[in-house]
Homo-oligomer: A and B are copies of this chain.
Amino acid sequence: MTAPLHEAHPAGPGRALPDTQQGMRRRNLARVMHTLRAEGPLSRAAVASHIGLTRAAVSSLVDELIRSGLLEELGPERPGRVGRPGSALAVSGHGPAGIGAEIGVDHLAVCAVDLRGEIRARAVRHGVNRGRSPEPVTAELTDLVRQVVAEAESLGLWPAGLAVAVPGLVARDARTVVRAPNLDWHDTDIGALLPAEFAPTVGNEANFGALAELWLGDGTPHDFLHVSAEIGIGAAVVVDGRLLHGTRGFAGELGHVPVHPDGPGCPCGGRGCLEQYAGEEAVLRAAGLEPGEDRVGLLSHRATDGDENVRRALREAGEALGIALTGAVNLLDPENVVLGGALAGLAPWLLPSLRQELAKRTAGPACPVTVSELGPEGPLLGAAHSVVRAVLDDPARVAERA
């Protein structure tokens, strides 16, 4: 009943499909889906004119997509148009759904997103995961997943795959958490601990956050650097609309860029890494506060109340971010930098010193820094939408299984 088909590293509309007649048909199925997702509802004729195929070719593609439950017919188009009325087509709200999940340091979350991009079911459980072993955490997550899937199924949806965001480095196998220092997990095959029937894949939370920004953000460019934080500081590099993964899948470790090379030692082996100045715990320490559960809430509360120690600590964190980002911007030349995750909530106090540091280290106009509107929801949404995207990018894989 489930069709495990999504990819951890979506490559855009049909990009990796083989260059054969059959591959061409599969790419054209993807074009129909993406056109209707972006522009729909549309008639067959309108779809044909959008993607430059004949109406007969589009009809055959549409028939296959309707049979697989990916498209639905809305009935005759509203009158007033020229020619014989066609039946309007739309992406199905009852077909496959992407199941996204997040293992946070202090919470677990799961949601189901349909092909139209609507969140149809969700569940959250608060509680500290730090220091717990992976088995009970993934067991608890699996309960939440089953709960969300049951709710989605009651709405006529079926799970097309499960993507799980974790705050750590994930190998390119999209299963193994190599290092998640803030959970105290390392070299663990998390994929094996998740229910196989949902074809789970695992990814870094900063990467999923960046994909959410790319797909759901308002006017997000196709080349940007997404900086996020829970306790650590992660970043994701998006180039030409695609995630830069790195050889081992570890690209984007902004938190370990040296800021003051003779600074304090870091568990990574380095000295003076960004995380030593701008990580949540470093900021709490600099502000003279104890790390508790809602660290960002505490910092933003105190800063709002005018606590000078907290404001100074955040200002200095912003400076350190500005230095590390100067290097990153010089290397990558992104169109902008987006602050997401927990950092988004602290932006009012981080941004002024961050922007000032970037500007004073740049001869021309400095790279713009904006704040994500998705905030801490980004990684969860990115995970769910990565499954949805994989369906849109290769609908034939669903069709084969439907």
Contacts and interface: CB of A to CB of B under 8 A. Distances in A.
B326 A258 contact: yes
A331 B247 contact: no
Interface residues of A, number: 46
Contact of A333 (B221, B253, B328, B363): B253
Contact of A360 (B246, B256, B269, B332): B269
A334 B246 contact: yes
Nearest to A362: B269
B331 A252 contact: yes
Most B Cβ at <10 Å: residue of A24, A223, A326, A335: A326
Contacts of A260: 260-261
A197 B248 CA distance: 45
A248 B223 CA distance: 10
A395 B256 CA distance: 45
Given A253-B333, A333-B250, A361 B235 contact: no
A249 B87 CA distance: 46
A134 interface: no
Given A270-B326, A362-B270, A363-B269, A333 B247 contact: yes
A59 to B, nearest CB: 19
A390 B327 CA distance: 32
Contact of A257 (B269, B270, B331): B331
Interface in A240-268: 244-254, 256-261, 267-268
B269 A361 contact: yes
A175 interface: no
Nearest to A252: B331
B333 A246 contact: yes
Contacts of A385: none
A327 B331 CA distance: 10
Interface string A349-369: 000000000001111100000
Contacts of A323: 258, 261
A271 interface: yes
A239 interface: yes
A33 to B, nearest CB: 15
A330 interface: yes
Contacts of A250: 333
A331 B251 contact: yes
Interface string A253-296: 11011111100000111110000000000000000000000000
Residue among A245, A254, A332, A364 with the most chain B CB within 10 A?
A332
A248 B368 CA distance: 14
Given A270-B362, A326-B257, A363-B268, A249 B331 contact: no
Contacts of A335: 247
Given A24-B19, A361-B269, A331 B333 contact: no
A27 interface: yes
25 contacts: A19-B27, A24-B24, A223-B246, A223-B247, A239-B244, A244-B244, A244-B332, A245-B333, A247-B335, A248-B333, A249-B333, A251-B332, A252-B331, A252-B333, A253-B330, A253-B331, A256-B326, A258-B326, A258-B361, A259-B261, A261-B323, A268-B361, A327-B328, A327-B331, A331-B331
Interface of A: 19, 24, 27, 221, 223, 235, 237, 239, 244-254, 256-261, 267-271, 323-324, 326-328, 330-335, 360-364
Q: Which 6 A-B pairs have the closest CB atoms?
A: A246-B333, A269-B363, A257-B327, A253-B330, A270-B361, A251-B333
